[in-house]
Amino acid sequence: MRKLTLLILTMVFVQLTKAEDGHQLWLRYQPVNKAKVTGPECLAADKLRTYFLGENATLVFDPSMKEDAYQIKGSTVTAKNEIGLLYGAYALLRGEQGYSAPYFNLRILNHWDNLDGSIERGYAGRSIFWDLENGQPKAVNTSLIEEYASANASIGINGTVLNNVNASPKMLSAIYINKVKEYADILRPYGIKVYLSVNFASPMSVPMKGINNGKVLKTADPLNPTVKAWWKAKAKEIYQLIPDFGGFLVKANSEGQPGPFDYNRTHADGANMLAEAVAPYKGIIMWRSFVYGAKHKGEDRVKQAVSEFKELDGKFRSNVILQSKNGPLDFQPREPYAPIFDNIRRTKQMAELQITQEYLGHSRHLVYLAPMWREFFGFVAPERLVGIAGVANIGLDKNWCGHHFAQANWYAFGRLAWNPMLTSESIAKEWLTQTFKSLQDNLSPLTSHLSPLLSMMLRSREACVDYMMPIGLHHIFAFDHHYGPEPNGFIPQYPIEWCPVYYHKADSLGIGFDRTHTGSDATAQYREPYCSMYDDINTCPERYLLWFHHVPWSHRMKSGRMVYEEMQFHYNRGVEEVEDFVRIWQEVKPIIDEQRWQEVNTRMQHQLENAREWRKVRLDYFGSFSK
């Protein structure tokens, strides 16, 4: 027994003394180079030969299998094609057995990366794809992109949009398209297709040979024949270089982006024109429904997507997919689901989730997002969707995501895109045991640390809701950067939808946004039973109370507390939860390597400070109304 303990401690010591910066993510296989692999020579064979701990592994093609699916029996992996074998090889390395097939065909990361190297809402350093070197696009970092590709392939992600939805037209110039080809060539063996965000007015900035005598166009009107010809020629140019190019993602007529409304055309006119250009190559158009302040300016912001798109349902070409955020507002820590998913019936739909923590404490707060995404699937059945997009949290930081635990959100996104029925707990467990090897079963005396870490991850999203936006308060984040509270936020020159006071509507009588039939009637956009449930103050779940109702300060909550007291309760609970996370992190110190432990610890101290700050600022502010 003593010998065994000594052996375990030695193994742990070796593990802990190794420099550890988190760069390896959850892929911590040591090259053992001992397995003999029988079967086709492919990337899956390479991976198994290098990392598989067994002596033999076998790879088998079975053309009758579903695309990308795999079957693992012992150390034999069977799949239809090389990508299926690769997914299977990674699954075998993490200990899976049995049959598995992806739920969604489209499992896509959206990078909000700008060509100058900055990342919109990025909190982990600069872009891995873009930057300028002497005014030219930077050279491709092949080995880094290969690492990125294997991380994605290991969790089944099969597409990536390389640039920000607030897209620069330059993206479609020859010099950048050539770079996109370089990325596509590196990513292809890993089963990852590239896509681009496009600026709808690109024909007005980027000249195209053979169109309008090589001069830029004066219009981007989607019904104009020269505009159509420009996009067709652009698609041809791209597909000649990248035959398996995925297609375009478009943000149009929202937050100042150009779009078909500029020419009195509809979203369908715009999307269909682009769809026609990529159709010969089997490309797709992902058209975003995140719109406000254009055609329905002045209407409650959370209603505008349905108002704009409902009447167009059924008018989109078959290769257009409407891409909508999970909530109707903007990636708040908790939102009711977006009712656009109820209202669109004859157009393909995708959900857009945000992996980067724009409103959830950036990469400073430990917030595990799988519970939030699972909550969404409880309202929007996965079978209503053809794909999932996730706004990436990846940058040039050594550990990719800024916070070591933010890697878990990248991991969870991929796993849920593969199988939305997986539980948050099983995903967290997989991630923890792969990422912190000392938690693996073979070091059983230490596995007792797994459960506090698991519990911390699983409670972290609710804690964040508690200290940031209890009982349905929303968008009371500081202007522009969205980090920290600014409940009194009002800047007359800003659109009212950016101002926190518009959302909480606190005054001496009460608080909350009336979205019932007596108010903006946003509840009417929901299917039953939610429409009636949310509309009635007696049945509206209290987690959404101030989202849907303006209530007097004297309103009694189910707990018997009045509204302000209930807010106090939640703020306190949120802070106490973070205090407990800090305690857990101290407790696991002996089993976590020094560098990662310290880096997480520093961030946790910030998180705690911030949670206390949120509590104080909000209680002081709202207390001044509620008295």
Indicate which residue of 82, 221, 330, 342 is catalytic: 330
What is the C-alpha separation between 545 and 63, in angstroms, rounded?
53
| Torsions phi, psi for 404 (to 5 deg) | -60, -35
- Long-range (24+ apart) CB contacts under 8 A made by 444-450 are 445/5, 445/8, 446/8, 446/12, 446/591, 449/587, 449/588, 449/591
Q: Which two tokens stand for residue 213?
A: 């005598």
Q: Which is nearer to ligand GCV, 255 or 299 (CB)?
A: 255
User: Which one from 358, 462, 486, 577 is the annotated catalytic residue?
Assistant: 358
Contacting ligand GCV within 107-166 (CB under 6 A)? 112, 120-121, 165-166
Site for ligand GCV in 393-412 (CB under 6 A): none
Catalytic site includes residue 594 = no
Residue 256: phi and psi, rounded to 5, are 85, 0
Site for ligand GCV in 91-110 (CB under 6 A): none
Q: Rank residues 459 and 482 by Cβ distance to ligand GCV and give the closer one.
A: 482
- Rounded CA-CA distance 369/326 in Å is 13
DSSP state of 113: B
Least distance to ligand GCV, CB of residue 330, Å: 5
| Residue (47 or 325) nearer to ligand GCV, CB | 325
CB closer to ligand GCV out of 331 and 418 = 331
Percent composition of the chain: helix, strand, coil (DSSP 3-state, to 5): 45, 10, 40
DSSP string, 257-274: ---GGGGT--HHHHHHHH
Q: Which of 290, 316, 411, 503 binds ligand GCV (CB under 6 A)?
A: 290
Sites for ligand GCV among residues 319-358 (CB under 6 A): 330
41 vs 480 by CB, closer to ligand GCV: 480
Q: How far apart are CA 442 and CA 48, in angstroms?
A: 21
d(CA 162, CA 177): 11
358 flagged as catalytic: yes
Which H/E stretch holds residue 537?
A: none
- Whichever of 121 and 461 has its CB closer to ligand GCV, that residue is 121
State in angstroms the smallest separation of the CB of 290 from ligand GCV.
5
Which one of residues 232, 251, 265, 461 is an interface residue with ligand GCV (CB under 6 A)? 251
Binding to ligand GCV (CB under 6 A) within 467-526 occurs at none
Helix axis angle for 450-468 and 424-435, nearest 10°, is: 120
Mark 165-194 with x for binding to ligand GCV (rule: CB under 6 A) and - for no binding.
Answer: xx----------------------------
**Helical ranges in 284-346 per DSSP H:** 304-309, 340-343
- For residues 100 and 86, is the Cβ–Cβ distance under 8 A? no
Q: With binding defined as CB under 6 A, does residue 249 bind ligand GCV?
A: no
Q: In angstroms, what is the minimal distance from the CB of 468 to ligand GCV?
A: 16
Helix (H, G, I), strand (E, B), or coil: what is residue 283? coil
Cβ-based nearer residue to ligand GCV, 120 or 237? 120
C-alpha closest to that of 306 among 291, 317, 321, 326: 291
> Which 582-621 residues touch ligand GCV, going by CB under 6 A?
none
CA angle 101, 186, 68 (to 5 degrees): 10
**96, 146, 185, 255: which is the annotated catalytic residue?**
255
Q: Is the separation of the CB atoms in 206 and 216 below 8 Å?
A: yes
Q: How far is the CB of 165 from ligand GCV (least distance, A)?
A: 5
Q: Residue 41: how many CB atoms within 10 A of its CB?
A: 11
Structure tokens at 571: 């703020």
Whether 330 is catalytic is yes
Number of residues this chain uses to bind ligand GCV (CB under 6 A) = 9
Q: Which residues contact 266 (CB under 8 A, 6 or more apart)?
A: 260, 312, 315
Please count the other Cβ atoms lying within 10 Å of the Cβ belonging to residue 610: 21
Q: Which is nearer to ligand GCV, 186 or 389 (CB)?
A: 389
Element (H, E) at 575: helix 563-587
Helix 424-435, helix 407-418: angle, nearest 10: 130
- Going by the DSSP 8-state scheme, the letter that residue 209 receives in this structure is T
Q: Which of 90/248 has CB closer to ligand GCV?
A: 248
Q: Cite the active site residues.
A: 255, 330, 358
**Site for ligand GCV, rule CB under 6 A:** 112, 120-121, 165-166, 251, 255, 290, 330
